[in-house]
Structure 1
């Protein structure tokens, strides 16, 4: 039994660094993907706000043009 534990220890000691690096890679990649997802969501939200502001400015400009345009004179 002790011989098996001795051999298992050598086997595990060879795999532990690789498993540790795999775990580290997984954590880093997970954070990169989550950050990208959050950045894309924030960008969509910002673009939607910009579109709403541009639409509001367009409506204001049209209203200003309509009120300042000379009305046709009636004969």
Structure 2
């Protein structure tokens, strides 16, 4: 009976390992995307504020 459980464990190990690697890669990609979007939004807000200030001075 010990052979059965050992074989079951070894047969599931590669699938679980690949799943964990996939999860880690996807998590990293999503976090990087979120960070990039936050940085872009901050820069865009600063540029909009500069443009609004310039238009206010010109008027």
Instruction: Determine if the TM-score, normalized by the shorter chain, exceeds 0.5.
Output: yes
- SS state at 1:26 partner: helix
In structure 2, runs of 5+ residues without a counterpart are none
| Structure 2 counterpart of 1:32 | 29
* Structure of larger gyration radius: 1
More helix per residue: 1 or 2?
A: 2
| Structure 2 counterpart of 1:6 | 3
In structure 1, runs of 5+ residues without a counterpart are 63-75
**What TM-score comes out, normalization by structure 1 length?**
0.74
Work out the CA distance in 2 between the residues paired with 1:5 and 1:34.
Answer: 42
Deviating beyond 6 angstroms after TM superposition, the runs of 4 or more aligned structure 1 residues are: none
Q: 1:43 deviation in Å?
A: 0.9
